[in-house]
Structure 1
Amino acid sequence: MTERPLDVLIVEDEVLLATELEFLVEEVGFHSVGLAMSSDEAVALACDLHPDLALVDVHLRDGPTGVEVARTIHNDCGGVALFMTANVKRLPDDFAGACGVIGKPYSEHGVKTALSYLTVCLREGQAPGPPPIGLELSPAYAERWGLSALPQAV
């Protein structure tokens, strides 16, 4: 019996980038449950659809609101967010409850590798080893997934 694909919400206000991410998500075997371009839309979809993972840009149509979106998805919707942003320095030390970040610009291979890695982490509650290059885990999730003593490859 095969496991169901992970449900992913894409929170990105650049249509071409959102479409590319949706394609990559589905190529890795995930199921895209929706695209959100603003913080209100993202929170509403996350709380209604309960995705396994939300890919969140920091700067959305309504401003640099992605950090608040990730925090709300984590605290109020019970979801896991992953930042996908060129604004890595804007992230708070606690990553707003997100599991980590992939910095832009990113490669197709980098995103696919990171998503495959996160699949194992989310399903098994434990990392299969250090994160792949390009994925930085938040300190809280590194500890949760058993990596607190390992250096991170970024």
Structure 2
Amino acid sequence: MRTLIVEDEMLLALQLEHEVESSGYRVIGLASDESEAIALVEREQPEFAFVDIHLRDGPTGIDIGRYLASRGIPFVFVSGNLKRIPADFAGALGAIEKPYSANGLQNALLYLRAVLSGEDLPPPPSSLTIFQ
């Protein structure tokens, strides 16, 4: 699956990229602010995204989430402060709270793969907050 990572902390972005690629997903790009994210969406047409809320240009992750949702691209927020997610979830499938463990992220990726492929869903892992 073609995956976009929107994260302004480079070490976290690279760690997430490694974990995502280890799970068989293809990372099509890393963005650290809103303009980079939108340019990558337009150019690379991702099928899924991980989006931090607070980026290099401020709390623009919510706007990026709304943009992804308007394009029909599923995503999850990855944030150290899940309280900043709006009541309508900005169209996100869920959220992964930082700091996360490699095992927790792998479990979340397995669950998300099931969601996106239409498989029967196991219970969501504790590392992933699901929005209904």
> Shorter-chain TM-score category?
over 0.9
Residue deviations 1:106-140, cap 9 Å, x none?
1000111101110111011x55122111101111x
Moved over 3 A (4+): none
Deviation at 1:14, TM superposition (A): 0.6
| Number of the residue aligned with 2:46 | 51
8 Å CA contact 1:46–1:79 kept in 2: the answer is no
Deviation at 1:43, TM superposition (A): 1.6
The alignment covers a number of residue pairs equal to 132
Structure 1 Cα separation of the partners of residues 91 and 43 of structure 2: 19
Deviation at 1:87, TM superposition (A): 1.6
Structure 1 Cα separation of the partners of residues 2 and 127 of structure 2: 22
Q: State how 1:61-140 maps to structure 2 within 5 Å.
A: 61-75=56-70, 77-124=71-118, 127-139=120-132
Identical amino acids, percent of aligned pairs:
46
Q: Give ranges in structure 1 of 5+ residues lacking alignment.
A: 1-5, 140-154
Identify the structure with bigger relative contact order (alpha carbons < 8 Å, sequence gap 6+). 2
Taking structure 2 as the reference length, what is the TM-score of the superposition? Answer: 0.95
| Number of the residue aligned with 1:35 | 30
Deviation at 1:51, TM superposition (A): 1.3
Q: Give ranges in structure 2 of 5+ residues lacking alignment.
A: none
Amino acid at match of 1:135: L
Q: Give the secondary structure class of the aligned counterpart of 1:119.
A: helix
8 Å CA contact 1:50–1:78 kept in 2: the answer is no
Which structure's CA Rg is the greater one? Answer: 1
| Match among 9, 13, 19 for residue 14 of structure 1 | 9
8 Å CA contact 1:60–1:66 kept in 2: the answer is yes
Q: Give the secondary structure class of the aligned counterpart of 2:129.
A: strand
Taking structure 1 as the reference length, what is the TM-score of the superposition? Answer: 0.82
Structure 1 Cα separation of the partners of residues 10 and 26 of structure 2: 18
